[in-house]
């Protein structure tokens, strides 16, 4: 009598639950980021506030993660990824920071 083996393509319940929690946490953290940008922009101005947030974030990343040297990454990846990151962050940070009120 053959034994029943689990389907290799069936989702694992723990993996699904973990992915759901990570997704919900991402939404909460994005909301926190928007509030933080607004709070810092009110104190330091929209441009300096955004620069401060991402500078502190970059320093914390260097301290906690120790990423590989940039010379190992492909130049095209760095250029395109960097340009897209700067465009996205400038758009969202400046739009939140330059808003006339803190009401959405």
State pLDDT tens for residues 29-70: 988 888 888 888 888 888 888 888 888 988 998 899 888 888
pLDDT at 86 over 70: yes
CA angle at residue 14 from 12 to 17, to 5 degrees? 110
Whether the pLDDT of residue 9 is over 70: the answer is no
Q: How far apart are CA 49 and CA 59, in angstroms?
A: 16
């Amino acid at each position: 009598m053959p034994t029943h083996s689990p389907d290799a393509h069936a989702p694992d319940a723990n993996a699904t639950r973990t992915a759901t929690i990570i997704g919900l946490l991402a939404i909460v953290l994005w909301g926190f980021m928007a509030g933080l940008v607004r709070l810092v922009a009110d104190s330091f101005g929209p441009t300096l506030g955004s620069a401060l947030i991402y500078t502190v974030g970059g320093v914390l990343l260097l301290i906690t993660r120790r990423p590989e040297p940039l010379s190992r990454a492909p130049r095209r990846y760095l250029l395109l990824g960097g340009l897209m990151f700067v465009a996205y962050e400038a758009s969202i940070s400046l739009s939140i920071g330059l808003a006339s009120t803190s009401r959405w």
